[in-house]
Amino acid sequence: MHHQSVTAFGISHMGNHRRENQDRYLVKKIDREHVLLAIADGMGGEAAGGLASDIAISIMERIDNPVPARPEDLSVILRDAGDRIIVITSQNENLIGMGTTLTTVLTMNSMAIWAHVGDSRLYHLSNGNLRQITKDHSFVRELIESGEITPEEALKHPLRHVLDQCLGSPDMEPDWGSFKLGKGDMLILTTDGLHACVSFELMQSVLESSLGLEEMAEILINKAMENGNRDNLSIILARVESM
């Protein structure tokens, strides 16, 4: 049995235009073998967005040994978080419309299992190949897939921030899956305030540099701010150091 060692770093920034930060993230080392990463981007009014992302991350924080063994088990926890948000919303009309994205990944042996809803993202960098693992649950992604607009047009589309799924929507169906991890691989979780303002190519070139995780994260946050960011922005970087 190989035990992997994973190092991770997360950072969140209010951004250029927001008065509060409704992003939340979690980096939790459960034991030598298991590291849990999660990122959430709240929405729905001044107070409500931060509350929704707080609820999502607090439910993820409870995960401990024995850890979920399958990605389906992680997706059940996302459903529980969504149900909790729906209950709280039903008790307070000021919170109607409250929701949050949630993207999470758990490392185990030489695998990563993940679950996801919304438009935050999980990427995997392996042998110089950066791959977006998650699909955005957004209105514009459907337009791209149907060929009505290009990915470039999506970046400026007036409805680019409209989600068709989040924690808090009643008909939520989380995506989930798993993939292999190798030594030197990286896991990257971002909220849309970052990946909407940093090109895929720039992200890959920074991640392939020999910089430390903290430096890489700060460079990507700063690049997004320079590129006209108008939202909160967060990133978690994790690297498999040994197997």
| Contact yes or no for 154/128 (Cβ under 8 A) | no
What was the pLDDT predicted at 1?
Answer: 45
What was the pLDDT predicted at 45?
Answer: 64
What is the pLDDT tens value at each position of the chain, 243 positions in all?
456 789 999 999 876 666 777 889 999 999 888 999 999 999 876 668 889 999 999 999 999 988 999 999 999 999 999 999 999 999 988 888 899 999 999 998 889 999 999 999 999 999 999 999 999 987 787 788 888 888 778 777 777 667 778 898 888 999 999 999 999 999 999 998 898 888 899 999 999 998 999 999 999 999 988 887 767 889 999 999 876
Question: What's the rounded Cα separation, in Å, for the pair 201 and 181?
Answer: 22
Helices (H), the chain: 46-61, 71-90, 139-145, 151-154, 192-195, 200-207, 213-226
Owner of token pair 């919304």: 118
Q: What is the DSSP string of 69-135?
A: -SHHHHHHHHHHHHHHHHHHHHT-GGGTT-EE-EEEEEEETTEEEEEEESS-EEEEEETTEEEE-S-
What was the pLDDT predicted at 17?
Answer: 62
What was the pLDDT predicted at 46?
Answer: 61
Question: What's the rounded Cα separation, in Å, for the pair 235 and 113?
Answer: 18
Tokens of 30: 């459960």
Question: What's the rounded Cα separation, in Å, for the pair 10 and 37?
Answer: 9
What was the pLDDT predicted at 163?
Answer: 77
Q: What's the one-letter identity of residue 151?
A: P
Question: What's the rounded Cα separation, in Å, for the pair 11 and 199?
Answer: 19
What was the pLDDT predicted at 99?
Answer: 92
Range 5-242 has CATH code 3.60.40.10: yes
What was the pLDDT predicted at 39?
Answer: 97
Question: What's the rounded Cα separation, in Å, for the pair 47 and 126?
Answer: 39
